[in-house]
Structure 1
Amino acid sequence: MGSLVGWTAEAFGALRHNLHWMGWNLFLAVVPLALSVWLFRPHRPRTFFWWLVACIWLAFLPNAPYVLTDIIHLIDETRDGHYSAWVIGLVLIPEYIVFILSGFLAYVVSLIYLGRYLKSLQLKRWVLPVELTLHALSAVGVYLGRFVRLNSWDIVTGLRGVVAELLEVLAAKQPLLVIAITFAIITTLYYALKVICLALYSYWQRSDLDVPGLTARTEK
């Protein structure tokens, strides 16, 4: 009984230790998804306010795939020997899987909304180029966030510093290699999960369940 109580306390301690930063990073990942629901409604007029929100969406978009890099915290926690193998296997690893998958799904669904919006504008041929461009921009954003420690709001509070850091990164070979690898990972995971999400959406349609904003509508 004592060992069970000790294990339970250790498990809750591990969950509580990660709750704060995971919650914050997941919130930042969901921001672009929430904005995309409003932005990419079919036939939404592109007013000045729309473009302003679109810029905010783009600035926050890399926060969603950024959660992939948080796997380094799991590696650190498994190496330091602070938690037992049971807690690592039954608590930490599932916690990280749910966290990372939720954050990255926010990225996938956000771009699906964008793709539907482009199709509603009869711009289907632009979906793939736009997606690849956003993957590349997100890879740059992930690098700046993870290694340079910049945030989305630094674009407003310190644009000159962001531009200087970006130029420095683009002039160096090692950061470009990391960005290229990040781009490949984001792209691969995105298209794999996109297929799953669209398959689930097709199932929901057959079940007469509506997902707001995802129903494709085109003018005749």
Structure 2
Amino acid sequence: MTRSRAQPKSEPLFTPIFLVLCFTSFLCLMMLVVRSAQIGDDRYRFLLWNLFLAWLPLIVSMAASGADRLLSGLPSARGLVLAVLGVGWLLLYPNAPYLTTDFIHLIMNPVYSWRQSTGSLLVWYDLVVFFLFAWCGLLLGYESMRQFHRLVGSHLGAAAGWLFIVAVSFLGGFGVYLGRVIRLNSWDVIFSPFRLLDSVLGGINANGFIFTMLFGVLILIVYLSLYCLRFMGGFRPHDIVGNGPPSYHNS
């Protein structure tokens, strides 16, 4: 009798959640187009750029999952590629939950005073638009994080996978702070590294800490909630660490 472990099943490119994300992104675009056509106001078109940036971490995580499969016979090359893609993903990841902070444009808009706006269809329309963009960003972040969770868990173990999730959640919260409050961008790592370093050091204060904790908890709760829903839908815990249950066969 010999013991062997089943290999993790590779996921198709166009999973249901990927198709939902494509549809939601298209819906966000169309709602802004309708808004602009109806009232001649395109002030919120910046949401499309932010949504594009939110897609980047998922694209990188999909590339990492593909590289992990394609380079399975070349462990050294696979490790190097995954490390580079992992760093790139970590820098891009805050762009996904960043979309939740765009609600500030809705909150601070003087047009939406409570007494004047509760009966206005526009305020409710805009509320749905902002929510869809924010929800799409959170889903993009979840799906890209889940793919790296699977990679880390399969190579380093389940405990390391969950430690990765907790660490990335709060690093992502700090990244959102750097983007929204300090007004940094992911590409500042390449084009303005010294400004980035100064801003990171300057962001280590009470306000930055509280902001990071708030958004870190938000990211973590969203991930755990969606993970549990996936698990309740028949997802097996060993899928996340990349190893199936032991199976036995005659040698």
TM-score (norm 1): 0.78
2:142 corresponds to 1:108: yes
2:94 corresponds to 1:62: yes
2:160 corresponds to 1:138: no
Cα distance, 1:155 vs. partner?
0.7
What stretches of structure 2 of length at least 5 have no aligned partner?
Answer: 1-33, 72-77, 247-251
Whole-angstrom CA distance in 2 between matches of 1:155 and 1:35: 17
C-alpha distance 21-217 of structure 1, shift in aligned 2 (>3 A): same
- SS of 1:54's partner is helix
Cα distance, 1:199 vs. partner?
4.6
C-alpha distance 120-159 of structure 1, shift in aligned 2 (>3 A): same
Residue 27 of structure 2 aligns with which residue? none
CA contact (8 A) 1:68 1:100 kept: yes
Instruction: Identify the match of residue 184 of structure 1 among 206, 217, 226.
Output: 217
Q: Alignment RMSD, CA only?
A: 3.0
2:172 corresponds to 1:147: no
Cα distance, 1:30 vs. partner?
0.8
CA contact (8 A) 2:149 2:240 kept: no
2:72 corresponds to 1:37: no
C-alpha distance 93-118 of structure 1, shift in aligned 2 (>3 A): same
Displacement over 6 Å in runs of 4+: 8-11
What stretches of structure 1 of length at least 5 have no aligned partner?
Answer: 1-7, 206-213
TM-score (norm 2): 0.69
Percent of aligned positions with the same letter in both sequences? 23
Instruction: Identify the match of residue 194 of structure 1 among 227, 240, 245.
Output: 227
Tell me how many residue pairs correspond in the alignment: 200
Whole-angstrom CA distance in 1 between matches of 2:62 and 2:158: 19
C-alpha distance 74-52 of structure 1, shift in aligned 2 (>3 A): same
2:82 corresponds to 1:28: no
C-alpha distance 129-122 of structure 1, shift in aligned 2 (>3 A): closer
Q: Deviations over 1:150-184 (max 9, x none)?
A: 000001111111111111111x2222122222212
Q: Which amino acid in the other structure matches residue 182 of structure 1?
A: F
2:125 corresponds to 1:85: no
Residue 43 of structure 2 aligns with which residue? 17
